[in-house]
Structure 1
Amino acid sequence: MADKNLFDYNEDSIKSLDWKEHIRLRPGMYIGKLGDGSSADDGIYVLLKEVVDNCIDEHTMGFGKHVDVEIKDKTVSVRDYGRGIPLGKVVDVVSKINTGAKYDSKAFQKSVGLNGVGTKAVNALSSYFKVTAFREGKQKIAEFEKGFLTKEYKEEKTTEQNGTAVEFIPDEKIFKNYHYLPEFLDNQFWNYCFLNAGLVINYNGKRYVSKNGLLDLLQRKTNEDENRYPIIHLKAEDIEVAITHNNQYGEEYYSFVNGQFTTQGGTHLAGFREGYIKTIRDFYKKDYDASDIRGSICAAISVRVQEPVFESQTKTKLGSQIMFENGPSVKNFISDFLGKELNNYLHKNPETAEALKKRIEQNERERKELAGIKKLANERAKKANLHNKKLRDCRFHFNDAAEGKNKNEINAKRLETTIFITEGDSASGSITKSRNVETQAVFSLRGKPLNCFGLTKKVVYENEEFNLLQHALNIEEGFEDLRYNNIVIATDADVDGMHIRLLLMTFFLQFFPDLVKNGHVYILETPLFRVRNKQETIYCYDENEKQKAINKLGNKPEITRFKGLGEISPEEFGKFIGDDIRLQPVMLLPEVHIQQLLEYYMGKNSPSRQDFIIDNLKVELDLAEVSGI
């Protein structure tokens, strides 16, 4: 058989995929990364968001005051009480690209989705999709599988209120081993309500509603007794901000455009940060350093713009520069608002102004104390980075610019970027050999890191390992230039591994809590057992899974207990950090006080911790004693 000519290029070489095929072949272009639900930006949450966004847009236009959401097993149902899809267009709206009402700016002045892709992507990526429109006493139902219309019902009479109901099941061939985490759903629904005061969301029997918008959001995200002054809450048409400072390191922002949580910020967040600095300098008539003004800030900003331009279909970063036709840029609009409203607030509230000034001046003192050691540490880090044996880097990074015609694909890669923090050469060796070099990096620790609880940020520069780690992550000046979306702690599942895990979590919570609060830190789950016979191999993550595997394989299968990551061969390890990776997100509940949490678990001689251990200590009796021998 003759070799195929590799240079053949003719009409047959050109393929045109229909919308369903293209979405299923390149889902990352439409919903970002796929994931299994262990990350807040995984695809299954984006699917839910795309459907709920349509309900929110109806509410924003003044139609429908509540939304019902139910997730049972893996079936998602969303019902709004807006105007309902026009019955003659039910099929088109969910299955024809560039079809929708949002091209008519009169119908949807400041909505989230403008390109008519959202629900089509949900349809294409669902093994089952059903849409029902209720309108003026009539209803129309259509059912789909993977984007293909399977049944279209005739119009029928109904007593249901106007609105739209969508039911879908994400396709398990695309979203493998997926599960919805209640904490992420809880946060998602609260955000919708904070941004739409008066909107009621009912989710599986729980009611979400907010009266005070971003003020409620910041009250939920901060601890009142750790805030340096009461939350500043300012509102005007098309803009709302809430601001406070606390005792933690770093900067923490929650930014929104037209109700969309822009996790990667954009021009509106940049405008807020610049406008805030200018306003503070003007008010105090002092040229404070920008990092001192923003240090320890916790703020939320929401703007509503006409026809926003996002940098990707997942709408996590605003790229739009214009707010209204012939109007000011987003940055100028926000800067002008802060220059007037925040300035007025500080003049009217001198106690808050004084507390803010003290916080800024404390940041200034701490920065100057660090200056000398910081310079030396950074010089050492720069030299080490040239031949950094601790870091095996990857090709794509989270802070890469997504430009050109392939920007959606680049964005999908950026979301997948992961750095594994490992301990020891054997573990890091296995991961390094089996990783995806495009999106997965490895940072190797040397032994146990320092317990940094109660120490100042000076230790980050004095400790070579911590300094190299912050440089690898690129978080010294804040996390907006973070190089990896997922920071994964990969340690053995023994006592030493657990201890290293706690020490690393202490490091992040103490000095970079915004990484944890914004969902970037994870624990890698690796199998404890391998159960196999000649026909099949099953990897098990706990005793229950092991027992099920034994029952399935029967006839005394071979059982291997993995004591450490180094025992798992690179070929096997590739299975645990690929499509089937299991990650446990490190999450902070809103009511958790970071310093109290760290004091309890990582403080010296914590009495409450000692009492807990003593009260819950289980003594394993000697077998001979039990037997009465």
Structure 2
Amino acid sequence: MARKQEYGNESITSLKGADRVRKRPAVIFGSDGVEGCAHSIFEIVSNSIDEARDGHGDTINVTRCKDGSVIVEDFGRGMPVDWNKGEERYNWELLFCEMYAGGKYGEGEDNYEFSLGLNGLGLCATQYASAWMTADIYRDGFHYHLDFQKGENVGGLHKEPYKGRRTGSIIHWKPDDEVFTDIDVPGSYYKDVLRRQAVVNAGLTLNFTDEKEKDPATGKPWKESWCYEHGIADYVAETAGEDSLTPVFSCESEATGRDREDQPDYKVKMSAAFCFSNKVQLLEYYHNSSWLEHGGSPEHAVRTAFVYQINKYLKDKNLYKKGESAISFQDVQDCLVYVSSSFSTRTSYENQTKKAITNKFVSQAMTDFLKHYLEVYFLEKPDEAQKICQQVLVNKQSREHAEKTRQSIKKTLSTQIDLANRVQKFVDCRTKDASRRELYIVEGDSAMGAVKTSRDSEYQAIMPIRGKILNCLKADYARIFKSDVIVDLIKVMGCGVELGGKHNKELATFNLDNLRFNKIVICTDADVDGYQIRTLVLTMLYRLTPTLINEGYVYIAESPLYEITTKDRTYFAYTEPEKATFLEEIGDKKYTIQRSKGLGENDPEMMWLTTMNPESRRLIKVMPTDVERTAQVFDILLGDNLAGRKEHIAQHGAEYLDDLDVS
């Protein structure tokens, strides 16, 4: 047995050079998967954006190459890579091979006053995490070229005179799949990031070429460009559309302060653009051009300022009823289209991925800034102020009504199924193993009798429904949950409901883990009435428990159309072509053929063979594919789209004349 190494002074080691990133990418990029790889790409883009925002260049080109490599080209000053007398090293060594080095650390902070990449890790960290990287830099009348392989320089610095007028940098690299578990960053990530950077950098053009995606119109690589001449104001206007409740209001200001008394002052530059809409809702925060997915300080400011000003208006105008509770930010958010962009010379990010900032002074400054401009806005635009506050009150009432509905639904569905409180006519099975249990939803009492006598009572349970249930696509939730049939069925399934919509997300009581069955089988007669009942049950599941369909728990039991009997054998034909095939197979033998009876008239043996026996039954799994098309068909056939239904019947009605149950 090998002797265990002692833990002593020689046990302590440190990662050096490229290994600091290559062996621990998640520490720098937040993940060693595709998200971390995406962040490493953003670090290079952000350097070019910092240069452009500082007034050097107005265009950045980004290319997602076929081989998985990435090219970022800017037209700024070109990064300095030649000999640095002060450091007694080449600048390229500091920029590409030294953590925490760059042009953002000077005492006066003359370069990049408001920087997206303050931590100085980006270029070096991405270089360390690449399989290879090349850099072409144009500045001071020279063209500089550098090559790197797996974090190490190859061949030093190549320098040659350049007579062209352009300046800037071209960085071309391939993320290393030895560092990241997945380097296939999707094109959608690039589009989202570049669009967002165009939003908060007014006048900056960002061009994207995707060699992995073809333009269907031309067959050439996909190309897309973004430029917002007026930045966030144009973006808010574009998002809200032409029918917003109020026009876009924009404002900007600066402030100087500190996070703590013992820390130095720093500058904050703030801008915001917003409007109100009863159709669109958006909240986006940016700091030093970085999208703050998790908000932090700017989000705290928005919540505080908007609720304060609107609440003050409602109180001053006596628009609250006696004893009525105050508005919440949710009521404001439901009609607010808001984007803020702030910059600061000192920034405290939650971590290197920059998804939230924690600066206390930024929060305080932005709160005061927004309170002031909202007060001015409400005074200068009283009609718009009234519109806004009335819409917020409507949102509040809707939220409170939704909460009452949620409580009512919770109370309705919380009753447990037990011996003392049984859902009427539900017949349970013996096993408690949910992975084996099957629930047959059958049409009427007679069908229930046939299914009950033919089932395997160990794992097959039965829930009868009486006639045509409520059309859940047209009914509101209050009416739906007054239906005993629907409530009983939800109780039996055990998983609760999931209600869509802006306010109804909080009403969901759905939990897939509580589903008491592995299969929900809809079992109806093979006639017009049976098909309609089947459709109504599917509609109910589609509206109230769509996850059951998406996860493959819902099935339809096929019933045979014909029973063909010979001296030796009985055939069950489920379609007209099957009937023809069986008759051809039978040939000259004598046979009897009859249209299959309703489920309630079938004998137990036939029910077992055709509907219940896993070895011989035919179950159709209801698939979640083409959900949009399913929604359209449900809307046409069962929703409020009367014009669409009329047109559908006019176009396709003749196809179903033979199926009509009329004499």
Question: Could you state the TM-score of these two structures normalised by the residue count of structure 2?
Answer: 0.57
2:310 is matched with 280
| CA shift digits 1:485-510 (9 cap, x unpaired) | xxxxxx99xxxxxxx9999998899x
Q: 2:105 aligns with which of 98, 103, 107?
A: 103
Conserved? CA contact 2:311–2:327, under 8 Å: no
Task: Write out aligned runs for 1:439-478 (5 A).
Answer: none
CA displacement at 1:48 relative to structure 2: 2.1
Closer, same or farther: CA 200–2 of 1 in aligned 2, 3 Å: closer
Provide the C-alpha distance between the structure 2 equivalents of 1:456 and 1:216, rounded to a whole number of angstroms.
38
Closer, same or farther: CA 178–147 of 1 in aligned 2, 3 Å: closer
Closer, same or farther: CA 67–285 of 1 in aligned 2, 3 Å: same
Please state if 1:82 is matched with 2:76.
yes
Q: 1:141 aligns with which of 131, 137, 145?
A: 145
Conserved? CA contact 2:636–2:644, under 8 Å: no
Please state if 1:242 is matched with 2:281.
no
Provide the C-alpha distance between the structure 1 equivalents of 2:374 and 2:314, rounded to a whole number of angstroms.
12
CA displacement at 1:381 relative to structure 2: 10
| CA shift digits 1:19-53 (9 cap, x unpaired) | 421312221222223444xxxxx233312211111
2:207 is matched with 202
CA displacement at 1:185 relative to structure 2: 1.9
Q: Identical aligned pairs, as a percentage?
A: 21
Which letter maps to 1:236? S
Task: Write out aligned runs for 1:220-369 (5 A).
Answer: 220-225=238-243, 227-237=244-254, 238-247=269-278, 252-285=282-315, 288-290=326-328, 291-321=330-360, 329-369=361-401
2:85 is matched with none
Closer, same or farther: CA 375–176 of 1 in aligned 2, 3 Å: same
Provide the C-alpha distance between the structure 2 equivalents of 1:47 and 1:143, rounded to a whole number of angstroms.
18
Provide the C-alpha distance between the structure 1 equivalents of 2:331 and 2:340, rounded to a whole number of angstroms.
20
CA displacement at 1:57 relative to structure 2: 0.8
Conserved? CA contact 2:131–2:176, under 8 Å: yes
Gaps of 5+ in 2: 83-90, 210-222, 255-268, 321-325, 417-433, 438-462, 464-469, 482-486, 508-517, 520-536, 553-625, 656-663
Paired residue secondary structure (2:99)? coil
Conserved? CA contact 1:58–1:82, under 8 Å: yes
Paired residue secondary structure (1:4)? coil
| CA shift digits 1:124-148 (9 cap, x unpaired) | 2211111222111112221112211
Which letter maps to 1:4? K
Which letter maps to 2:337? C
Gaps of 5+ in 1: 37-41, 322-328, 385-423, 428-446, 479-490, 493-499, 510-522, 526-585, 587-595, 620-629
Deviates more, 1:357-366 or 1:214-223: 214-223
Closer, same or farther: CA 258–346 of 1 in aligned 2, 3 Å: same
Paired residue secondary structure (2:203)? coil
Conserved? CA contact 1:600–1:608, under 8 Å: no
Provide the C-alpha distance between the structure 2 equivalents of 1:57 and 1:289, rounded to a whole number of angstroms.
40
Which letter maps to 2:20? H
Task: Write out aligned runs for 1:376-525 (5 A).
Answer: 425=435
Paired residue secondary structure (2:158)? coil
Provide the C-alpha distance between the structure 1 equivalents of 2:373 and 2:384, rounded to a whole number of angstroms.
14
Provide the C-alpha distance between the structure 1 equivalents of 2:646 and 2:156, rounded to a whole number of angstroms.
65
Question: Could you state the TM-score of these two structures normalised by the residue count of structure 1?
Answer: 0.60
| CA shift digits 1:304-337 (9 cap, x unpaired) | 111211011110111222xxxxxxx222211222
CA displacement at 1:366 relative to structure 2: 1.5
CA displacement at 1:259 relative to structure 2: 0.5
| CA shift digits 1:366-390 (9 cap, x unpaired) | 2332343434667899999xxxxxx
Which letter maps to 1:101? G
Paired residue secondary structure (2:348)? coil
Deviates more, 1:75-84 or 1:197-206: 197-206
Conserved? CA contact 1:279–1:338, under 8 Å: no
Conserved? CA contact 2:132–2:149, under 8 Å: yes
Closer, same or farther: CA 100–299 of 1 in aligned 2, 3 Å: same
1:67 is matched with 60
| CA shift digits 1:200-245 (9 cap, x unpaired) | 12222533211121122223434444x3333333333422222234
Closer, same or farther: CA 271–468 of 1 in aligned 2, 3 Å: farther
Conserved? CA contact 1:310–1:318, under 8 Å: yes
Closer, same or farther: CA 347–72 of 1 in aligned 2, 3 Å: same
Provide the C-alpha distance between the structure 2 equivalents of 1:266 and 1:502, rounded to a whole number of angstroms.
41
Provide the C-alpha distance between the structure 2 equivalents of 1:350 and 1:155, rounded to a whole number of angstroms.
64
Provide the C-alpha distance between the structure 2 equivalents of 1:252 and 1:58, rounded to a whole number of angstroms.
29
Conserved? CA contact 1:453–1:507, under 8 Å: no
Please state if 1:217 is matched with 2:261.
no
Provide the C-alpha distance between the structure 2 equivalents of 1:43 and 1:612, rounded to a whole number of angstroms.
49
2:4 is matched with 4
Which letter maps to 1:115? N
CA displacement at 1:457 relative to structure 2: 8.0
Q: Aligned Cα RMSD in Å?
A: 4.6
CA displacement at 1:272 relative to structure 2: 1.4
Task: Write out aligned runs for 1:521-536 (5 A).
Answer: none
Q: Which has the larger radius of gyration?
A: 2
Provide the C-alpha distance between the structure 2 equivalents of 1:58 and 1:172, rounded to a whole number of angstroms.
29
Paired residue secondary structure (2:370)? helix
Provide the C-alpha distance between the structure 2 equivalents of 1:254 and 1:425, rounded to a whole number of angstroms.
43
2:51 is matched with 58
Conserved? CA contact 2:146–2:158, under 8 Å: no
Which letter maps to 1:215? A
Paired residue secondary structure (1:127)? strand
Paired residue secondary structure (2:356)? coil
CA displacement at 1:63 relative to structure 2: 1.3
2:127 is matched with 123
Provide the C-alpha distance between the structure 2 equivalents of 1:22 and 1:159, rounded to a whole number of angstroms.
39
Provide the C-alpha distance between the structure 1 equivalents of 2:21 and 2:645, rounded to a whole number of angstroms.
51
Provide the C-alpha distance between the structure 2 equivalents of 1:256 and 1:451, rounded to a whole number of angstroms.
45
Provide the C-alpha distance between the structure 1 equivalents of 2:649 and 2:124, rounded to a whole number of angstroms.
53
Which letter maps to 1:232? F
| CA shift digits 1:565-618 (9 cap, x unpaired) | xxxxxxxxxxxxxxxxxxxxx9xxxxxxxxx999746535256699899999xx
User: How many residues matched?
Assistant: 442
Conserved? CA contact 1:87–1:135, under 8 Å: no
Paired residue secondary structure (1:151)? coil
Paired residue secondary structure (1:304)? strand
CA displacement at 1:301 relative to structure 2: 1.3
Provide the C-alpha distance between the structure 1 equivalents of 2:542 and 2:160, rounded to a whole number of angstroms.
57
Conserved? CA contact 1:254–1:301, under 8 Å: yes
CA displacement at 1:178 relative to structure 2: 4.1
Provide the C-alpha distance between the structure 1 equivalents of 2:125 and 2:293, rounded to a whole number of angstroms.
21
Conserved? CA contact 1:370–1:458, under 8 Å: no
Deviates more, 1:215-224 or 1:340-349: 215-224
| CA shift digits 1:486-537 (9 cap, x unpaired) | xxxxx99xxxxxxx9999998899xxxxxxxxxxxxx999xxxxxxxxxxxx
